[in-house]
Structure 1
Amino acid sequence: LRNTTVRISYDTDRTRLHAKTYTFHRNNGFSTSYIGSSNLSNPAITSGLEWNVKVTEQDSYDIIQRIEKTFETYWKDPEFIEYTPESRERLQRALSKERRSEIDLRPVFDIRPYYYQKEILERLKAERELHNNYRNLIVAATGTGKTVISAFDYKSLVQRPGGYPRLLFVAHREEILKQSLQVFRGVLKDQNFGDLLVGGNEPAQIEHLFTSIQSLNSRNLPMITPPDYYDMIIVDEFHHAAAPSYQRLLTHYTPKVLLGLTATPERMDNLDILEYFNEKISAEIRLPEAINRKLLAPFHYFGVTDVVDLDTVPWKRGTYDPAELSRLYTGNQQRADLIIRAVQDYTTDLHDIIGLGFCVSVEHAEYMAAAFREAGIPAACLHAGSSREERSTIQKRLVTREIHFIFVVDLYNEGVDIPEVNTILFLRPTESLTVFIQQFGRGLRLSDGKECLTVLDFVGNHNKNFPFGERIAALLSPGGKTLVEQVSRDSYSLPKGCYIHFEEKARERVLANIRANITNRATLIRKIRSFEDETGEPLSFKKFLQRYSLQPLDVYRRGTFCSLAAEAGVYPGTYADERLFPRTAAIRLATLNSPEAIRLIRAALSDPCHYSPAALSDREKSILALFYYSLSDVPLRDENMGIEEIFSDLFAYDEIRREICDLLEYNGAHIEFLPKPVDLGFENALELHATYTRAQAFAALGHYTLTWKPAGGSREGVVYLEDKKADVFLVTLNKTEEHYSPTTMYKDYAVNEDLFHWQSQSTTSASSPTGRRYIEHERRGSRVLLFVREYNKVDGVTQPYLFLGTARYVSHEGSRPMSITWELDDPMPPGFFLKANKMVVG
């Protein structure tokens, strides 16, 4: 085809581009597109029975623009490679691989990580280089490509071509080891890398070894290698690692990096695997992301109104009294009838059910199994007293649908793991979010014939401290309306194919619970007042966040911690005056994640004598100004004031200073990226991919100083700093008419990780002085700085900007406004790219 360019993705497992759209672009403003089912063939275009719709630029300008921009993002995605005559053999191999049913381990394309895998790799890098944690656990569902992540993680440790660090990869099955070895060879582009020690395979070397735990022990590998022999040890399915067979491996070796991969961090025998990873999970793939990627089955969740009143059940140390729950549930025929009726109402065919019911006690589980059998629904129960043979037999009977339900007490304690499960009953309140997600996840495993998981959650009149809101929030996709709004309307932001519905009374109970929990000022005050009695520990902001699994903004939406503690009667009444530490200031600091700024501010608050402004470098002064303008909007009159004078209220009130230090410590511990300074040709305190408010950004640039800032501040989205020869772009992607006028709702989005489409102010033309400055910025020695955020506000809180770094002019279209494509000097973070790109393709 002459005058035709074709781009192809060769990864048949990864890319399923099924969009059929034919666009005819015309410079006269009369472009047209045909969208529908027709292939580009004679029958499809002429006589075939097809569904198509024609849209025109004149009538549907926004749709045409959306189509063109979506096509642009695909066209410029490195996934799609330009086809040339030399590519013919490669294309034939890819097509042949797709048609073959047998496994073909030879890669026909360069293995590249998905964006969500890149995000995990970034977090691993931050864990090690920023937090000095080299024992890392990744939690991700089966099928999410944990092996690919581990291979790229290993590749990042390779300092020079062929200079491979010593690697030990341990898995429990030969097929997994063979496939993992091929993945590593593909990622490293070295088909000679690594050897197998499993089954009948004899390795030629042991420096880069893929082995089973059985072979490792039978060949006595720890006896012939010293503890520090391997630089990196990767253990697949690490939840097996608490078993005795893994102890020689884990106790003998001391690698520089230990990487664990698992879908379920909770062991089925209650043994803790987090002890091997400094009691933390380094990275995990969120449930909504995994469902959208079709790595887990979608769910249909129904909140059913329960007949049992839980408001009178004793609530101690964050949990219900299990004995009292068991007493209320066991033998309760009215409740059993309700549960059976709900199963009949909310499932399509009783004969297709492969279900699990979670109970509070052995007696409860036995009672429920008997009640279901009496109703004609075959069921059994499993508990700690069940023999291994009994467990195996009952699980097989469930899979073959000889029975339809197994009632269990604690699923992960009882060893029930059945991918075919398609129905789950929550028959007891589950206070722990981790346990809830683990139990929920048992039904999300993909299995032939499973369309979705049906979940019935029986909603009682819960104690006001029961955290129902976090359970629902964990199931939702990010970026939707507030949780209260979604539950109120019974309309949810969900992964593809998922559904949530609450019965009317159940929804009222959940709404009341959410409103009474965390987000309510009175509830926070009550929790603060009872903290020391409940925990036996002295109150602090840090401990309060840990105790209730809160983030700082959960508190700051209702007040500063000190003011709430004063209102609770725990701190002196003077702390109730929020003018000492305004809530708006606390919110600004709560989003600060620049490691260098956090370190300097904490040090200055702890030891002010060593941080006199006169003795600080320009960069340090910028950080001090950043902190100051987080607390105040009014410049200082005297630049010679000391730290204690500048922040006199903080040093006069110890608890406020302690709260800020706790806040900054929290921020520092939760940084998930590896920042770096940015060379702008002048001293500045900005760090790449950190977030800043507008005032913090200008202070970090040295534009705002302790004694000067523009009167009234600057509200424009573009600010040119003439003395620094820098254009600062402050971009909000998701604009609404509430916050932007029609003349300022510019169209900004990411084309790919390196290219950003930005629309200028409505008065800017290519021939104007401003337009020429943009186009000629490199020749003029001027820089373009890009700060971007997804929303102006979330839940009423103004959002900070992510600093994407410097950018270079590539091209432009149009005039008044100009549409400019910028190339970033550093790729944007993969997680943020998905947000910035969805404005086009989402």
Structure 2
Amino acid sequence: MAEFEQGTKRTLLILPTGGGKTIVLSGIAYKFAYDRNRNPTGGKVLILAHQNILINQAADKFQTVMELPVFREQGRQTGCLEPVTVSSMQTMQRRLDRFPPDFFRLIIIDEAHHAMSAGYQRILEHFTDARVLGVTATPDRADGKKLSCFDSVAFEYTIKQAIDDGYLVPLKVKRAPLTINLSKVRKRRGDMDASDLGSVIEPYLHQIAEIARGMAKGRRIVCFVPLIRTAKKAAEIFSHYGFRAAWTAGEDDEKTDKLAAFAAGEFDIIFNSMLLTEGWDCPETDCVIVLRPTMSRALYVQMVGRGLRLAAGKKDCLLIDLLFQNDKFTLASPKDILGENRKRSGGGGMAPWMTGGGQQTDAEQRLAKALDKAAKKYQDPRESDKWRSVLENAPANELFDPPCSDSQKRKLKALKLDATALTYSQADAILKAAEAEKMPSNAMRWRLSQLGYSDEEIAGMNFPAARKALAKQKAMGRW
């Protein structure tokens, strides 16, 4: 309000997902449309969004919190007959000829990082007398367009501040032991091509399911994928690994029922392609897997933010971080979640007054160091619960047990293990145990599938079992 009182015409409010954005905009709408005695002041307020789900949330929240009516400008309803009106951007831009330029005193744009689109710009150019408040969690854009339609930031509350203040749960990042090469992915419309991403990621779904089973057992997981096809395939594969899995999409006739079932705990994981990045809330979600790598910090923060809301018994949100190897793209990463600087945001789509000078914040530096340390550290297997029992049961040559060989050291290094103090027999025991739990390669899975093995059969195989099955088929002359 102070920004408007000082003469600013258009200003921005930045609040993280789960930070009470809808309640805040409801309160501001009330202050413009009603006096202290709850009587209309004569000034009308328009709340705009680009999706019906956001429109419905805004209307429901205003009516619930303020206990006052809201007019929905949609379908056959027209005229904005209440002090506060909600409408989609698409509807309002088609009806501009019904309203004079001074009809609204205040226009509120939800998810305001979309405000530079042609539809929003037509509306703002028509209602020239209105004050404008943009509300968003992510004011940067992947397409490089600056949010120049706003003159200032009235207030910003970061994800880190919300976590520190107890309004969001802490983010726990685990690096998955899997590298996916993106060298064959092309760039399209400012980000990576979704079709290319689907083709690259789908062969790894079995391995990702195995990783998720080990890291996220008992959690409520939302997974973002590049294509509807990928979502369907992932749900089928994950079901073979013990997950109650579902997929959904905008064109899915059962999406409402599936999302309700997920919220009720009937599914462990739900896969989607860009459907749940905005306007969807399930506070019980406590794990996020991003299989849709992106150059856009805004999109990445929207995806991960789905797991940060508070819920009863919820301690944190686990982000399973896969390593996407590429030399062409600067990808958004966990470092972007807690950082306040947005200069590197897939196109630098910030107005000049929003940039942070290119310096990493303390939060970014701490998280970057932690991730680098986790990625580079080699663990002493003698200090690991996982490998200690293997070492205790390792057969040893009582007369002579030489140090581990250079070949063994290289293989253990690939497992992020420090072989310095290991003997040959100890190293051999660890490598055999690792091979026993190793998943078949993508080439092996493909060959097994071509030979008639079902996804369920392949999901139950470790590396030695897959190798044995292939050897048997080869001996029978089938390939």
**Which interval holds the TM-score relative to the shorter structure?**
0.5 to 0.7
- Change beyond 3 A, Cα 1:152–1:325: closer
Q: Does 1:374 align with 2:240?
A: yes
| Cα deviations by residue, 1:507-542 (Å, 9 ceiling, x for unpaired) | x99xxxxxxxxxxxxxxxxxxxxxxxxxxxxxxxxx
Which amino acid is 1:374 matched to? H
CA contact 1:265–1:274 (8 Å) conserved in 2: no
Matches within 5 A, 1:685-834: none
CA contact 1:235–1:260 (8 Å) conserved in 2: yes
Which amino acid is 2:273 matched to? V
Q: Determine helix, strand or coil for the equivalent of 1:330.
A: helix
CA contact 1:167–1:233 (8 Å) conserved in 2: no
| Cα deviations by residue, 1:450-476 (Å, 9 ceiling, x for unpaired) | 3321110111333264245x6404324
Q: Does 1:301 align with 2:173?
A: yes
Q: Does 1:454 align with 2:318?
A: yes
The aligned counterpart of 2:337 is 474
Quote the Cα distance in structure 1 between the aligned partners of 2:96 and 2:364: 52
- Change beyond 3 A, Cα 1:252–1:481: closer
| Cα deviations by residue, 1:149-168 (Å, 9 ceiling, x for unpaired) | 88679989xxxxxxx98532
Shift of 1:144: 3.8
The aligned counterpart of 1:346 is 215
Quote the Cα distance in structure 1 between the aligned partners of 2:108 and 2:279: 24
- Counting aligned pairs with the same residue, the percent is 24
- Change beyond 3 A, Cα 1:410–1:490: closer
| Cα deviations by residue, 1:529-559 (Å, 9 ceiling, x for unpaired) | xxxxxxxxxxxxxxxxxxxxxxxxxxxxxxx
- Change beyond 3 A, Cα 1:447–1:239: farther
Q: Determine helix, strand or coil for the equivalent of 1:463.
A: coil
CA contact 2:14–2:136 (8 Å) conserved in 1: yes
The aligned counterpart of 1:313 is 184
- Change beyond 3 A, Cα 1:240–1:362: same
- The count of corresponding residues between Structure 1 and Structure 2 is 334
Quote the Cα distance in structure 1 between the aligned partners of 2:86 and 2:315: 34
Matches within 5 A, 1:237-636: 253-262=127-136, 277=149, 284-310=156-182, 312-314=183-185, 316=187, 319-332=191-204, 336-337=206-207, 339-347=208-216, 349-350=217-218, 353-384=219-250, 386-387=251-252, 389-412=253-276, 416-463=280-327, 465-467=329-331, 471-476=334-339, 487-488=368-369, 502=375, 504=377
Quote the Cα distance in structure 2 between the aligned partners of 1:328 and 1:225: 50
Quote the Cα distance in structure 1 between the aligned partners of 2:101 and 2:156: 29
CA contact 1:166–1:229 (8 Å) conserved in 2: no
CA contact 1:340–1:372 (8 Å) conserved in 2: yes
Which amino acid is 1:313 matched to? K
CA contact 1:181–1:210 (8 Å) conserved in 2: no
Q: Does 1:169 align with 2:45?
A: yes
Which amino acid is 1:136 matched to? T
Quote the Cα distance in structure 2 between the aligned partners of 1:142 and 1:414: 11
Q: TM-score, normalised by structure 1?
A: 0.32
Quote the Cα distance in structure 2 between the aligned partners of 1:237 and 1:302: 29
Quote the Cα distance in structure 1 between the aligned partners of 2:280 and 2:163: 22
| Cα deviations by residue, 1:54-104 (Å, 9 ceiling, x for unpaired) | xxxxxxxxxxxxxxxxxxxxxxxxxxxxxxxxxxxxxxxxxxxxxxxxxxx
Shift of 1:371: 1.2
Which amino acid is 2:227 matched to? S
Shift of 1:358: 1.5
CA contact 2:339–2:363 (8 Å) conserved in 1: no
Q: Does 1:232 align with 2:106?
A: yes
Q: Does 1:209 align with 2:83?
A: yes
- Change beyond 3 A, Cα 1:447–1:247: farther
Quote the Cα distance in structure 2 between the aligned partners of 1:402 and 1:371: 18
Shift of 1:212: 5.3
Shift of 1:440: 0.8
Quote the Cα distance in structure 2 between the aligned partners of 1:396 and 1:208: 32
What RMSD in Å do the two structures reach over aligned CA positions?
5.4
Q: Determine helix, strand or coil for the equivalent of 1:331.
A: helix
**Where does the alignment leave 5 or more consecutive residues of structure 1 unmatched?**
1-120, 157-163, 183-194, 200-205, 493-500, 510-842
The aligned counterpart of 2:14 is 139
> Looking at both structures, which has the greater relative contact order when contacts are Cα pairs under 8 Å and sequence separation is at least 6?
2
- Change beyond 3 A, Cα 1:251–1:392: farther
Quote the Cα distance in structure 2 between the aligned partners of 1:405 and 1:356: 6
Quote the Cα distance in structure 1 between the aligned partners of 2:134 and 2:292: 32
Quote the Cα distance in structure 1 between the aligned partners of 2:298 and 2:115: 20
Quote the Cα distance in structure 1 between the aligned partners of 2:270 and 2:289: 10
CA contact 1:177–1:211 (8 Å) conserved in 2: no
| Cα deviations by residue, 1:190-210 (Å, 9 ceiling, x for unpaired) | xxxxx85669xxxxxx99934
**Where does the alignment leave 5 or more consecutive residues of structure 2 unmatched?**
33-39, 48-55, 73-79, 342-359, 379-412, 415-479
Which amino acid is 2:325 matched to? N
- Change beyond 3 A, Cα 1:483–1:263: closer
Which amino acid is 1:261 matched to? V
Q: Determine helix, strand or coil for the equivalent of 1:306.
A: strand
Q: Determine helix, strand or coil for the equivalent of 2:236.
A: helix
Which amino acid is 2:306 matched to? R
Q: Determine helix, strand or coil for the equivalent of 1:460.
A: strand
Quote the Cα distance in structure 1 between the aligned partners of 2:340 and 2:326: 25
- Change beyond 3 A, Cα 1:399–1:490: same
